[in-house]
């Protein structure tokens, strides 16, 4: 049973445009959400997070939006740059549960 779902395996956008990566979750106990970025042959690196008490968190070109009622979050990258090309993982954690549950990832390709 996949509790964190990233339904788009891949996404391609033009440089300078907005990239929107989506993530859905099923476990209502999740209260903290994270996005990780992964380049080939490297481990995932933490990008941005959001607590369930917020609906938006912004860090430079990256913004994460959380819609608790829809159990949906999204990562917006504006403007997109070729260096943003990577696999993006959505992850979630619930309460005192230490576990991070990951989605399967979305491969973002930003074309020059």
Partner 1 sequence: DAGVIQSPRHEVTEMGQEVTLRCKPISGHNSLFWYRQTMMRGLELLIYFNNNVPIDDSGMPEDRFSAKMPNASFSTLKIQPSEPRDSAVYFCASSTGIGSGGYTFGSGTRLTVV
Compare residues 44 and 80 and give the one whose CB is closer to partner 1. 44
- Strands 86-94, 30-38: pairing is antiparallel
Contact 57, 64 (CB under 8 A): yes
Q: CA–CA distance from 19 to each of 14, 24, 64, 68, 76 (Å)?
A: 9, 17, 12, 21, 6
Task: Enumerate residues 1-40 that contact partner 1 by CB under 8 A.
Answer: 32, 34, 36
Task: Out of 73, 103, 106, 110, point to the residue binding partner 1 (CB under 8 A).
Answer: 103
CA distance 74 to 22: 4
Is the alpha carbon torsion for 92, 79, 20, 37 positive or negative? negative
Tell me the number of residues near partner 1 by CB under 8 A: 20
Binding mask 36-75 for partner 1 (x = CB under 8 A): x----xxxxxx--x--------------------------
CB of 91 to partner 1, least distance (A): 8
CB of 49 to partner 1, least distance (A): 5
Residues in CB range of 94: below 8 A, 6 or more apart: 27, 29, 30, 31, 32
Asked if residue 94 binds partner 1 (CB under 8 A), the reply is no
User: Which residues in this chain contact partner 1 in the complex, by CB under 8 A?
Assistant: 32, 34, 36, 41-46, 49, 89, 96, 98-105
């Amino acid at each position: 049973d996949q509790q964190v779902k990233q339904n788009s395996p891949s996404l391609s956008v033009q440089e300078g445009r907005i990239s929107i990566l989506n993530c859905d979750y099923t476990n209502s106990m999740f209260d903290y959400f994270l996005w990780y970025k992964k380049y080939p042959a490297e481990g995932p690196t933490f990008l941005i997070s959001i607590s369930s008490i917020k609906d938006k968190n912004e860090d430079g070109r990256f913004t994460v939006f959380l819609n608790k009622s829809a159990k949906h979050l999204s990562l917006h990258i504006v403007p997109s740059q070729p260096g943003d090309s990577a696999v993006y993982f959505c992850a979630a954690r619930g309460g005192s549960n230490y576990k991070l549950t990951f989605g399967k990832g979305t491969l973002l390709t930003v074309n020059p």
